[in-house]
A = this chain, B = another copy of it.
Amino acid sequence: MDTADGIAAGAPGGARPRKRAVRRAQSASMADVARLAGVSSQTVSRVSNGYSGVAEETRRQVLAAMKELGYRPNSAARALKSGEFRTIGVITFGLSSTGNVRTLEAIAVSAAQEGYAVTLLPVAVPTQDEVRGAFSRLSELAVDAVIVIQEVHLLDEATLSLPPHIQVVVADSDAGDRFTVVDTDQAGGARTAVRHLLDLGHHTVWHLAGPEESYAAQRRADAWRAELTAAGREVPAVVRGDWSAESGYRAGLGLADEPDCTAVFAANDQMALGLLRALAERGRKVPDDVSVIGFDDIAEAGSFLPPLTTVHQDFAEVGRLCVEGVLHRMRHGGAEHGTTLVPTTFVVRESTAPPPAARRPRP
């Protein structure tokens, strides 16, 4: 019974173990399909990959066999053979920020359209060590390319440990000299915001900045300063938060006590939200007493009290361009680096108005 193939059990050496029978019930291989269809496995491969040069009749038989066995190409074998994983790794420092998430989503969608999967490489704390860890984990990972979202001044050396053939594109950072970068036009957005407030008649604009370590925060702050300077206005001291609404609230309590602060440009919407709360608590009306502008245009911004005027970032476009960039570099060889800027749009809602001084004289 158990030597069904006719070879005597005791035959010396010849009794090759019947592994096949015991094998895991996993999916069928090309060989299985080939056997059932009565063709060679190579023909199955040709059908599977849509090559021409297979007779219509044969093709149909193979397809039928595939269906019957529930054949699925084994991506590990395919990857081993081709040297490609068809997967893009994405390194993020936390998914707490809306921007990161929206970008990630767009990356996943774009990648899927190109037939690529997206693997997530979460980095808990954005320290050098952690980042280097992610990169080295990644290099053992089934990934053809990497997209890094945000804050890449930490990458300086970490990159060294990357396999040389892996392409890297960075979203939302500078370092255009060392990497291919896709970024929102932070400066342009910030300038528009400041200009809008000046145009409304505000004498100057205060800035509720993001954390010092962040390049995005830094660039928004720089642009704010530049725009004020260009207009010959005085530049108030920077107030700093950490992107969170809570930090915006704390900073806002201070700003509320500045009597001549009539306009604030917050570096993101969350901090603007906290700022709104602080101002409300201190009895300073927005926009009548103080105008507020945010950055990002998160989904909830239109429902703040009052609805927030803000700078809309096109995260979807950033994500799309990241994928495009990384695939381009993979296919056409990693050429020189550079930065692609995605423009922002300015969304005017109800949190901005002329300053009290400009309106008081009228009635």
Q: Which listed segment binds B: A57-65, A80-88, A335-343?
A: A80-88
A303 touches B87 (CB 8 A): no
A245 touches B277 (CB 8 A): no
Complex contacts, A265 vs chain B, CB 8 Å: none
Shortest beta-carbon distance from A48 to chain B in Å: 10
CA distance A104 to B101 in the complex (A): 11
What 18 additional pairs, Cβ within 8 angstroms, besides A75-B140, A79-B142?
A: A26-B165, A75-B85, A76-B80, A96-B105, A96-B299, A101-B101, A105-B122, A109-B124, A117-B120, A120-B120, A142-B142, A245-B300, A245-B303, A246-B302, A270-B300, A273-B300, A273-B304, A300-B300
B87 touches A95 (CB 8 A): no
B95 touches A139 (CB 8 A): no
A117-B120, A122-B108, A299-B245 are known contacts. Are A73 and B140 too (CB-CB below 8 A)? Answer: yes
CA distance A72 to B73 in the complex (A): 25
B280 touches A70 (CB 8 A): no
Number of copies: 2
CA distance A303 to B245 in the complex (A): 6
Complex contacts, A80 vs chain B, CB 8 Å: 74, 76-77, 80
A-B contact pairs, 9 of them (CB 8 A): A75-B142, A76-B80, A96-B299, A112-B121, A118-B119, A142-B142, A245-B300, A273-B300, A276-B305
Shortest beta-carbon distance from A150 to chain B in Å: 15
B249 touches A274 (CB 8 A): no
Complex contacts, A26 vs chain B, CB 8 Å: 83, 163, 165
A117 touches B119 (CB 8 A): yes
Within 8 A of B (CB), among A87-134: 87, 94-96, 101-102, 104-105, 108-109, 112, 117-122, 124
B74 touches A24 (CB 8 A): no
Q: Which residue of B lies closest to A142 (CB)?
A: B75
A25-B165, A95-B101 are known contacts. Are A303 and B273 too (CB-CB below 8 A)? Answer: yes
Binary contact track A284-325/B, C-beta < 8 Å → 1, others 0: 000000000000000110111101000000000000000000
Complex contacts, A248 vs chain B, CB 8 Å: 303
CA distance A79 to B75 in the complex (A): 9
Within 8 A of B (CB), among A173-232: none
Complex contacts, A273 vs chain B, CB 8 Å: 300, 303-304
Binary contact track A3-39/B, C-beta < 8 Å → 1, others 0: 0000000000000000000001111000000000000
Complex contacts, A277 vs chain B, CB 8 Å: 303-305, 307
A118-B119, A119-B118, A270-B299 are known contacts. Are A95 and B102 too (CB-CB below 8 A)? Answer: yes
Q: Which residue of B lies closest to A84 (CB)?
A: B76
Complex contacts, A75 vs chain B, CB 8 Å: 85, 140-142
Shortest beta-carbon distance from A155 to chain B in Å: 18
Shortest beta-carbon distance from A350 to chain B in Å: 10
